[in-house]
């Protein structure tokens, strides 16, 4: 089986992960941190906003069952890409909207997707989503992995 990786920041990683877990063709999801200045940050450090990391979901998927374009469609739908450094009540640079690409092909598709998203009439404000090369992925603490699947009484935006 051929597998690929995609990484998205779209606010609180709990809700974003739950959305991607439901998509057929997604093999595994992991939540963690990307794009910061320190190695192996903790959740508390990331939330303080001093490390520059973003809460992300790393998606391992089978491209024969789900396309990268379909992952991007879900990414755009599961958050408000017009909110700068926040999603709902969650505020800070760690909640920013960002697509981390793992190849030149992913970058091209992501940039095309961004242009299409900016033209949608549902957005009253400009889309502020960044597109950046993927860097080191730091796995979040175990208690964050598949959080909403294990805690049915919690929710995320």
Dist CA 18 CA 59 (whole Å): 11
pTM of the entire predicted model: 0.92
pLDDT in tens, 80-127: 999 999 988 889 999 999 999 999 999 999 999 999 999 998 888 999
The token pair that represents 106 in the structure block: 């992913």
Would the CA dihedral through 87, 151, 54, 25 be positive or negative? negative
Q: Alpha carbon 31 to chain centroid distance?
A: 9
Of 154 and 134, the structure prediction assigns the larger pLDDT to 134
Q: Which residues are catalytic?
A: 12
- Residue 140: per-residue pLDDT: 86
């Amino acid at each position: 089986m051929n597998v690929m990786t995609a990484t998205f920041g779209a606010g609180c990683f709990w809700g974003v992960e739950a959305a991607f877990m439901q998509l057929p063709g997604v093999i595994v999801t992991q939540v963690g941190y990307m794009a910061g200045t320190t190695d192996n940050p903790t959740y508390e450090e990331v939330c303080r906003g001093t490390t520059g990391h973003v809460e992300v979901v790393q998606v391992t998927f089978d491209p024969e069952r789900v396309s990268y374009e379909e992952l991007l469609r879900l990414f755009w739908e599961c958050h408000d890409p017009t909110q700068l450094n926040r999603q709902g009540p969650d505020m800070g640079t760690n909640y920013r909207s960002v697509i981390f690409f793992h190849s030149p092909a992913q970058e091209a598709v992501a940039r095309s997707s961004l242009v299409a998203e900016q033209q949608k009439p549902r957005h009253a404000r400009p889309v502020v989503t960044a597109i950046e090369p993927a860097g080191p992925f730091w796995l979040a603490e175990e208690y964050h992995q598949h959080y909403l699947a294990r805690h049915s009484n919690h929710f995320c935006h």
